[in-house]
Amino acid sequence: MSDAFQDYIGKEINVSEEPVEYKFGDETYKDFNYSYDKNDPVIKDIFNKNASARIILPNTMLTMDYIPTRPNVYVDKDTNGTWRITDVRFG
């Protein structure tokens, strides 16, 4: 099954970025919240192959449970500003 998911590496997906500000005491920190488009055809295809897949964007918090059949799909922004799948690991 893992070979089938390796074909997704390099594929572009739709990701939205929302600027957010966090205040801690007197300090203000700026960051982004990221979310993927659940209707993106690549994302839909991934979930059709394995409903337990995790799409991991920057700043995504994860549980530490290990499920060897679950694909963890890593997404990052490319140098040209598009969002692409950069890696797929199982666990």
- pLDDT per residue, tens digit, the chain (91 aa), is 567 899 999 999 999 999 999 999 999 999 999 999 999 999 999 999 999 999 999 989 999 899 999 999 999 999 999 999 999 999 9
Per-residue confidence (pLDDT) for residue 37, from 0 to 100: 97
- The count of residues in the chain is 91
Taking the model in full, what pTM does it have?
A: 0.88
**Dihedral angle sign, alpha carbons of residues 49, 60, 67, 8:** positive
The secondary structure of residue 7, as a DSSP letter, is T
Per-residue confidence (pLDDT) for residue 4, from 0 to 100: 84
Query: Where does residue 5 fall: left (phi above 0), alpha (psi -120 to 50 degrees), or beta otherwise?
Result: alpha
Give the whole-angstrom CA distance, residue 14 versus residue 38.
9
Q: In what order do the strands lie in the sheet with 54-56?
A: 12-13, 83-90, 71-77, 54-56
